[in-house]
Amino acid sequence: MALEFIGGTLFTLLYDGVKQAMSKSGTFKTLLGDLKSTLDSLEPRDIQQIGEHNVELGLPNEEIESLQMQMEDGVKLVGKLSNLRMWNYCCLDDYAQQIVELDRALKRFKDVKEVLVLSRQNRDKPDEVNRRLLDIRKLLQQRAGDAVEDFRIPPPELIGRT
């Protein structure tokens, strides 16, 4: 349930808030632009997939929960930035630091997403290689008949073991 909230509604609230704050606040335009760019590179489904992958592997969801808290704080922050008055100058450094921290957290999640995608792609590679080796073995057996027995290709389950 929490994953759906992070991946959908919360993500949308943050993204829309960043766009609105960019249009109203010239002070943080560069930092908000960086944050928007990071959000553009993520999709709500990415966050949900990482959470599901953690559950699948029995890993704690501390990272997801931490990200959720940061995104909730980010939604509040961009709301403040949209209504920022110049007499609140004492808070500018704190707001800037909060934007940078949220951007870093989202970039870490982006990196995790990329590793997850690569691991899923590579997970299927050995199966594909073994299947192809088995096909080659069958083809050789069909073409050469008994002569292949002398050649002896190791079974696919032994290939790749050291």
The pLDDT, as a whole number, for residue 137 is 76
Does 3 have pLDDT greater than 60?
Answer: no
Is 74 among the domain residues?
yes
Q: Rounded to whole angstroms, how far apart are CA atoms 22 and 51?
A: 30
Q: Rounded to whole angstroms, how far apart are CA atoms 111 and 109?
A: 5
Does 6 have pLDDT greater than 60?
Answer: no
- Backbone φ, ψ for residue 136 (5° rounding): -65, -40
Q: Average pLDDT for residues 117-142, to the nearest whole number?
A: 72
Is 114 among the domain residues?
yes
- 44 versus 7: the higher-pLDDT residue is 44
Average pLDDT, the chain: 76
Which of 4-8, 81-85, 96-100, 131-135 is predicted most confidently? Answer: 96-100
Q: Are the C-beta atoms of residues 80 and 95 closer than 8 Å to each other?
A: yes
**0.85 cut: is pTM over it?**
no
The pLDDT, as a whole number, for residue 123 is 67
Q: How confident is the model at residue 145 (pLDDT cuts 50, 70, 90)?
A: low
Q: Rounded to whole angstroms, how far apart are CA atoms 130 and 155?
A: 9
The pLDDT, as a whole number, for residue 131 is 78
User: What Cα–Cα distance (Å) separates residue 32 from each residue in 2, 9, 63, 110, 124?
Assistant: 26, 19, 23, 17, 39
DSSP 110: H
Is 145 among the domain residues?
no
Does 130 have pLDDT greater than 50?
Answer: yes
Q: Which helix (H) or strand (E) is 92 found in, with range?
A: helix 92-144
Kindly report, residue by residue over 64-103, the tens digit of the pLDDT.
Answer: 788 888 889 999 988 888 877 766 667 778 888 999 999 9
The pLDDT, as a whole number, for residue 81 is 82
Is 128 among the domain residues?
no
- Burial string for 89-108 (b: 16+ CB within 10 Å, else e) reads eeeeeebeebbeebbebbbe
Give the number of domains in the chain. 1
Torsion of CA 156, 159, 160, 162, to 10 degrees: 140
155: region left, alpha or beta (phi > 0 left; psi from -120 to 50 alpha): beta
Residue 99: domain span: 2-121
